[in-house]
């Protein structure tokens, strides 16, 4: 009988995957050769890549050392997420990629694809052009067509057809994966002493770096370990902790998660691309698989990158605050993320009118003022009634 891994051991595995993002995928590629197709987070339909027989690989493990490498090609007010991804590519950090898909979700992603093609092209490079106004009746049919176009390009590149049966199998695998991570997220909310913010978001981020089947096994083991330890202690340990909703684009840099953990702030809900928005909803497993993927994309939690009057972002945040028993909202903004900055004043004022406290924290990959941000978050936690936030 094999020994069960502990929570600490499994979480350490997730951390190792992020620390060496290309190592696991290159080993798998050596064992079972197939193209590795990267994607910028996270509005790219990975199910299509998977159904083509290629390895999907998210460009989500950032090394701030390479942000400035992109400055000769991009304006300095492009967000550090785009600059870091491109800088790492220029530095050869993604040389194991055979392809790259860039979703058009903002001005920076729209202009970076041609610059990328000119300076560090891969064998397969595609834009994924999403509709901006997703609440329009034409959005669904347009997006289904765009998915069909991407499917045809993947088939041409890999030399493998993507029929409905293959795509439905991939959708089923990804639905199972999202369900497992949603369960882990729920356990984190009840037992933040067992699964910290950093543990949770490392689990989500690492899932974009290795095959979903392998990651499903790891998450299942972690869930079992958490549930077992939770039964043994028989009570939730939330003493002195403050529950909050986090809103923004991505959890970057990772130091921000450690600051929340040290400040006894528990993220119980979010709308981040590398957080809950990545796992929030599933694709239907009946009907036209391209259309079900389009519907899933349209119905994802609201984002400032898309207009959807049927899913109001303020309503989403206030609902999550009430459902999860949160005491406030943290705006986690990457510097120069114009879509987030446009929304912020309206959301801040509306939350204030609803008596929901909030604080805005600006971060930048490779250049974050950790002490200043730590002070702001600790002060916010204290204002919300957190107890002994400076204690052990």
Instruction: Write the DSSP string, 327-354.
Output: -EEEEEEETT-HHHHHHHHHHHHHHHHT
- Higher pLDDT among residues 65 and 191, named by residue: 191
Q: Does the CA dihedral 380-386-390-392 come out positive or negative? A: negative
Separation of alpha carbons 244 and 261, rounded Å: 12
Q: What is the pLDDT of residue 304?
A: 84
Note the pLDDT of residue 19: 93
Beta pairing class for 55-58 and 99-104: unpaired
- Please state the domain extents for the chain: 7-166, 169-386
Cβ atoms 245, 268 nearer than 8 A: yes
Q: Which CATH number fits domain 7-166: 3.40.50.11890, 3.20.20.80, 3.40.50.720, 2.170.270.10?
A: 3.40.50.11890
DSSP class of residue 95 equals: T
Please tell me the pTM assigned to this model. Answer: 0.94
Residues for the chain: how many in total? 392
Residue ranges with strand state E in the chain:
36-39, 55-58, 99-104, 124-129, 242-248, 265-270, 328-334, 358-363
CATH for 169-386 is: 3.40.50.11900
Domains 7-166 and 169-386 share a fold: yes
d(CA 147, CA 44): 10
Q: Name every residue whose Cβ is closer than 8 Å to that of residue 185 and which is 6 or more positions away in sequence.
A: 200, 276, 279
Q: What is the pLDDT of residues 209-268, one digit of tens each?
A: 999 999 999 999 999 999 999 998 866 666 689 999 999 999 988 889 999 999 999 999
């Amino acid at each position: 009988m094999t020994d069960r891994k502990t929570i600490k051991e499994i979480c350490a595995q997730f951390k190792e995957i992020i620390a060496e993002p290309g190592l696991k995928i290159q080993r798998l590629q050596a064992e079972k050769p197939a193209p590795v197709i990267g994607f910028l987070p996270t509005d790219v339909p990975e199910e299509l890549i998977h159904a083509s027989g290629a390895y999907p690989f998210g460009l989500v493990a950032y090394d701030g050392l390479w942000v400035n490498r992109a400055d000769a090609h991009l304006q300095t007010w492009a967000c550090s997420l785009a600059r870091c991804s491109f800088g790492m590519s220029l530095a050869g950090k993604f040389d194991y990629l055979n392809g790259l898909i860039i979703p058009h979700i903002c001005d920076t992603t729209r202009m970076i694809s041609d610059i990328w093609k000119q300076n560090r092209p891969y064998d397969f490079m595609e834009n994924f052009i999403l509709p901006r106004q997703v609440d329009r009746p034409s959005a669904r049919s347009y997006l289904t067509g765009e998915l069909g176009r991407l499917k045809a390009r993947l088939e041409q590149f890999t030399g493998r057809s993507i029929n409905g049966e293959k795509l439905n199998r991939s959708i089923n695998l990804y639905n199972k994966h999202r369900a497992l991570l949603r369960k882990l997220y729920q356990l984190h909310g009840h037992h933040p002493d067992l699964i910290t913010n950093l543990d949770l978001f490392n689990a989500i981020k690492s899932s974009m770096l290795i095959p979903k089947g392998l990651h499903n096994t790891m998450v299942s083991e972690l869930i079992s370990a958490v549930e077992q330890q939770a039964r043994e202690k028989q009570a939730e340990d939330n003493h002195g902790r403050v529950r909050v909703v986090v809103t923004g684009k991505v959890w970057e840099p990772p130091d921000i998660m450690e600051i929340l953990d040290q400040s006894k702030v528990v993220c119980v809900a979010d709308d981040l691309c590398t957080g809950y928005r990545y796992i929030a909803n599933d694709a239907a497993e009946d009907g036209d698989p391209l259309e079900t993927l389009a519907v899933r994309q349209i119905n994802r939690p609201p984002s400032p990158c898309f207009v959807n009057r049927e899913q109001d972002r303020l309503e989403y945040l206030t609902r999550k605050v009430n459902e999860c028993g949160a005491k406030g909202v943290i705006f986690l903004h990457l510097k120069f993320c114009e879509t987030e900055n446009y929304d912020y004043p309206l959301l801040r004022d509306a939350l204030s009118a609803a008596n929901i406290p909030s604080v805005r924290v600006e971060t930048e990959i490779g250049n974050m003022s950790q002490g200043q941000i730590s002070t702001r978050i600790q002060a916010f936690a204290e204002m919300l009634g957190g107890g002994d936030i400076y204690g052990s």
